[in-house]
């Protein structure tokens, strides 16, 4: 019989103490069209044979962690409003975050430890507010699902308008610290959205056209040995170091170009978002503790033939150059000198968008019952642009897990073959 999940009605967890009221502005980065979405992800916490768990006490501890953290992160207890079209802000209402408690009818092992394809519908594992509440007005929601083995999953939905991934992880780490009895968060939260310049907007250009693709969905892992082999090649040929992101992205970009077989002179493009906190040292009171959006889009375009014929070392070098250029582009944008809207991305089959979740921080959140064994994103219903998400594989595995939605069926066999050569 298929596993079932029984949910309690959503309930509000308000801050544990008084919090300021009023409205707070969002930054010019927060308000870019690229981040006006909700982000869903799930953390998996297996039971431990040597540490039997009182599930009721664990849930109560987690609730308390949220209530105490919201005193410090009081905007998260508020609601998103848009009194002026195109100028969203946060109203500090102090209402709190919606919290759902749920019970699954099976063990985590019975549910295949929530490996894909999920045997429990994702809607059963993710929090949603009551029907009369608009999801897009909420800042963050949480659902804890108890499994019969003593394990949990925690589903989180957060507004990308208020947080980037690192910012949301910072808040959840504070929830964990409060749940574990710390008197205050180890990082003092910084709002300061109005400190970020609001440069004049470059011309938007024509609205993007959307094509719905029928992507094959799959999960592949790239071993540490494979990553190290390419890093060693890069060091040997260029005397430069490179990151795991550089290597994994080069592998995917090359394999996909070989698989889709575009005409030699046709463009294939790579897009990614990079963190820019380090570029805001002289802008924010402190970049440590700032939990707003600090990302900027970067990427590169090459002809199909160039990518097919290039070595991995050459592609890694091109990616590193694109990352270096991104810093200049971001500072140019901040100063109002950008002549084009870098947030406009070509949404077509020739564009690959990669997102790295392996170092965001969600894997280091401890609500009082240990760190998760696995964290995975659930925004997997996007079918308008080829995408890959990088995750840490479930413990104790090492390497990088790729969640792939980037080729259609006619290209999937070649794509898998090329990946197997390099993974």
In a 13 Å sphere around the CA of 345, the CA atoms on its Cβ side amount to 28
**pTM of the predicted model, to two decimals?**
0.94
Shared domain for 315 and 385, answered yes or no, is yes
Distance CA 244, CA 234 (A): 12
Distance CA 283, CA 269 (A): 32
Distance CA 177, CA 181 (A): 6
Q: Please name every residue paired with 97 in a beta bridge, in sequence order, or none if there are none.
A: 13
Distance CA 369, CA 253 (A): 39
Burial class (CB in 10 A: 0-12, 13-18, 19+), 211: exposed
Write down the pLDDT at residue 204. 60
For residue 401, the enclosing domain spans 218-422
Number of domains in the chain: 2
Model confidence over 184-229: pLDDT tens digits? 999 999 999 999 988 877 666 666 667 789 999 999 999 999 999 9
Write down the pLDDT at residue 345. 67
Shared domain for 274 and 407, answered yes or no, is yes
For residue 78, being part of any structural domain is answered with: yes
- Calculate what percentage of the chain has a pLDDT beyond 70: 95
Query: Is 16 within 8 Å of 71 (Cβ atoms)?
Result: yes
Write down the pLDDT at residue 306. 97
Distance CA 162, CA 154 (A): 20
Distance CA 42, CA 17 (A): 28
Is residue 278 part of the annotated active site? The answer reads: no
Shared domain for 225 and 191, answered yes or no, is no
User: Is the Cα torsion angle 150, 151, 157, 163 positive or negative in sign?
Assistant: positive
Shared domain for 138 and 228, answered yes or no, is no
Distance CA 258, CA 252 (A): 10
Domain CATH number, residue 13 = 3.30.559.10
For residue 88, being part of any structural domain is answered with: yes
Contacts of 151 (CB under 8 A, 6+ apart): 44, 45, 46, 47, 107, 108
Contacts of 206 (CB under 8 A, 6+ apart): none
Write down the pLDDT at residue 337. 73
Helix residue ranges per DSSP H, 286-408: 304-309, 312-334
Shared domain for 186 and 253, answered yes or no, is no
For residue 397, being part of any structural domain is answered with: yes
Shared domain for 151 and 233, answered yes or no, is no
Q: Please name every residue paired with 119 in a beta bridge, in sequence order, or none if there are none.
A: none
Distance CA 51, CA 298 (A): 45
Shared domain for 183 and 265, answered yes or no, is no
What secondary structure letter does DSSP report for 399?
A: S
Shared domain for 227 and 341, answered yes or no, is yes
**Low-confidence spans in the chain with pLDDT less than 70:** 33-34, 49-52, 202-209, 338-345
Query: Is 139 within 8 Å of 171 (Cβ atoms)?
Result: no
For residue 208, being part of any structural domain is answered with: no
Model confidence over 335-355: pLDDT tens digits? 887 666 666 667 789 999 999
Residue 236 in 3-state DSSP? helix
Distance CA 62, CA 70 (A): 12
Write down the pLDDT at residue 206. 63
Q: What is the DSSP string of 211-223?
A: ----BPPEEEEE-
Is residue 30 part of the annotated active site? The answer reads: no
Which among 417, 419, 382, 418 has a CA at the least distance from the CA of 402?
419
Shared domain for 153 and 299, answered yes or no, is no
For residue 202, being part of any structural domain is answered with: no
Distance CA 350, CA 263 (A): 11
Q: Which of 110, 348, 366, 380 is catalytic?
A: 366
In a 13 Å sphere around the CA of 179, the CA atoms on its Cβ side amount to 21
Which among 60, 273, 94 has a CA at the least distance from the CA of 166?
273
Q: Which of 30, 160, 342, 356 is catalytic?
A: 160
For residue 144, being part of any structural domain is answered with: yes
Which three-class secondary structure string do you get for 339-369?
CCCCCCCCCCCCEEEEEECCCCCHHHCCCCC
Write down the pLDDT at residue 385. 87
């Amino acid at each position: 019989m298929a596993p079932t999940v029984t949910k309690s009605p959503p309930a509000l967890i308000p801050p544990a103490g008084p919090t300021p009221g009023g409205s707070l502005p969002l930054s010019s980065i927060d308000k870019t069209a690229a981040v006006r979405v909700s982000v869903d992800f799930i953390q998996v916490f297996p039971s431990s044979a040597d540490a039997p768990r009182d599930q009721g006490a664990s849930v109560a501890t987690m609730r308390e962690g949220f209530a105490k953290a919201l005193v410090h992160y009081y905007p998260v207890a508020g609601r998103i409003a848009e009194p002026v079209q195109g100028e969203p802000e946060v109203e500090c209402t102090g209402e709190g975050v919606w919290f759902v408690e749920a019970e699954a009818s099976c063990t985590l092992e019975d549910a295949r430890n929530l490996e894909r394809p999920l045997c429990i519908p994702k809607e059963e594992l993710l929090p949603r507010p009551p029907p009369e509440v608009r999801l897009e007005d909420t800042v963050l929601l949480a659902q804890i699902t108890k499994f019969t083995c003593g394990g949990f999953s925690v589903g989180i939905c957060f507004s990308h308008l208020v947080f980037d991934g690192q910012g949301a992880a910072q808040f959840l780490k504070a929830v964990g610290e409060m749940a574990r009895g710390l008197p205050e968060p180890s990082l003092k939260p910084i709002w300061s959205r109005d400190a970020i310049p609001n440069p004049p907007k470059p011309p938007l250009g024509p609205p993007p056209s959307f094509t719905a693709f029928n992507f094959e969905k799959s999960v592949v892992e790239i071993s540490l040995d494979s990553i190290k082999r390419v890093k060693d090649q890069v060091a040997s040929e260029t005397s430069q170091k490179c990151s795991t992101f550089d290597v994994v992205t080069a592998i995917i970009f090359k394999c996909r170009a070989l698989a889709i077989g575009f005409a030699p002179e046709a463009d294939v493009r790579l897009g990614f978002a990079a963190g820019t906190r380090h570029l805001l040292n002289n802008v924010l009171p402190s970049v440590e503790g700032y939990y707003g959006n600090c990302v900027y889009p970067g990427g590169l375009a090459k002809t199909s033939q160039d990518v097919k014929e290039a070595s991995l070392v050459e592609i890694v070098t091109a990616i590193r150059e694109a990352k270096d250029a991104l810093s200049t582009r971001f500072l140019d944008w901040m100063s109002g000198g950008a002549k084009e809207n870098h947030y406009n991305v070509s949404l077509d089959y020739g564009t690959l968008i990669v997102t790295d979740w392996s170092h965001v921080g969600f894997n280091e959140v401890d609500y009082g019952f240990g760190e998760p064994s696995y964290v995975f994103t659930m925004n997997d219903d996007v079918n308008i642009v080829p995408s890959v998400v990088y995750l840490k594989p479930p413990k104790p595995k090492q390497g990088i897990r790729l969640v792939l939605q980037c080729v259609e069926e006619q290209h999937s066999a070649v794509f898998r073959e090329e990946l197997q050569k390099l993974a």
